[in-house]
Amino acid sequence: MSKVISSHAVSVDGYITGREPGPGRGLGAGTMLFDWYFDGDTPSRVFDGFRQSEPSARVFDALAGRIGAVVAGRNTYEDSDHFGGGSPHPTARVFVLSHRPAPEITERQTLIGTGIADAIAAAREAAGDKDVALMGGGVLAEGLAVGLVDEVILHQVPVLLGRGRPFFRELPEHVRLRLVDAVPAPGVTHLHYAVER
C-alpha cells in the first residue's frame, strides 16, 4: 500500500517561510530554504533545472520518484501562485485542501473541501502504487492528528528565520518519530523519520 509522507525544507527554528509570505511574494524572506535545490553540480533526474550536491540529489530524487499525488494546503497553494495551474511535482496530480471556493482551480487540480481523510483518499486513488506527499504545516498537522501520516522528512537548513509560517502546528497528543536516516549535505541536513504507531 502507498505511504503518506511529508517532505519539507525547514529552518532550524521550525519555519517553512520567512516573514511576509503570500501570493506574489512566495516564501517571503525565506527563499534561502531552497538554495540547496540549485547549489550543486548534480542534476535532478525528476525536476528539470534542479542542480544539487550529490548527497542532496540522491535523497531528493529518491523521494520525488516515490510521489504519485500531492495534497497541498490552501496557504501553500496561494503562496505558490496556484502552482502555475499545474502541480508542484512534474508528474503528480495535486489535491488542494480548502473549505473556501477556489475559482482559479484548473482541470489539472482538484479542490477537496471535506477534510484531510477525503483528500488523502482521493490522492491515494490517483497515486496508484506510488506515495502521497503532503505540503504545508496545516495539512501535516491534520494528517498526523487522524493517524494517516507514515513518514516525516525534514530538509533542515542551517538558518534561524525568527518569524514566518511555522511548520509544526498544535496536535491533540504526542506523535513519536523514529529516525530512519540522517544525511548531511552542503547547506542542508536531510532527516528522515518514520511515524510510530
Plot region of 134 (φ>0 → left; ψ -120 to 50 → alpha; else → beta):
beta
pTM of the model: 0.93
Is a pLDDT exceeding 90 seen at residue 195? yes
Tell which residue, 88, 99, 101, has the closest CA to residue 50: 88
Across the chain, what does the average pLDDT equal?
Answer: 93
Q: Is residue 141 within 8 Å of 169, Cβ to Cβ?
A: yes
Is a pLDDT exceeding 80 seen at residue 147? yes
Q: Using CA atoms in the order 43, 49, 52, 57, what is the torsion angle rounded to 10 degrees?
A: -60
pLDDT of residue 25: 76
Task: Provide mean pLDDT across the span 148-156.
Answer: 98
- Residue carrying C-alpha cell 498537522: 141
- Residue carrying C-alpha cell 496556484: 82
Q: Is residue 150 within 8 Å of 4, Cβ to Cβ?
A: yes
Query: What is the spatial distance between Cα 77 and Cα 84, in angstroms, rounded to a whole number?
Result: 10
Task: Report DSSP state, residue 52.
Answer: E
Per-residue pLDDT of 31-80, as tens digits, reads 899 999 999 999 999 999 999 999 999 999 999 999 999 999 998 898 88
Tell which residue, 100, 96, 121, 122, has the closest CA to residue 111: 96
Is a pLDDT exceeding 90 seen at residue 194? yes
Is a pLDDT exceeding 80 seen at residue 155? yes
Tell which residue, 123, 169, 191, has the closest CA to residue 14: 169
Task: Provide mean pLDDT across the span 74-100.
Answer: 92
Task: Provide mean pLDDT across the span 92-97.
Answer: 96
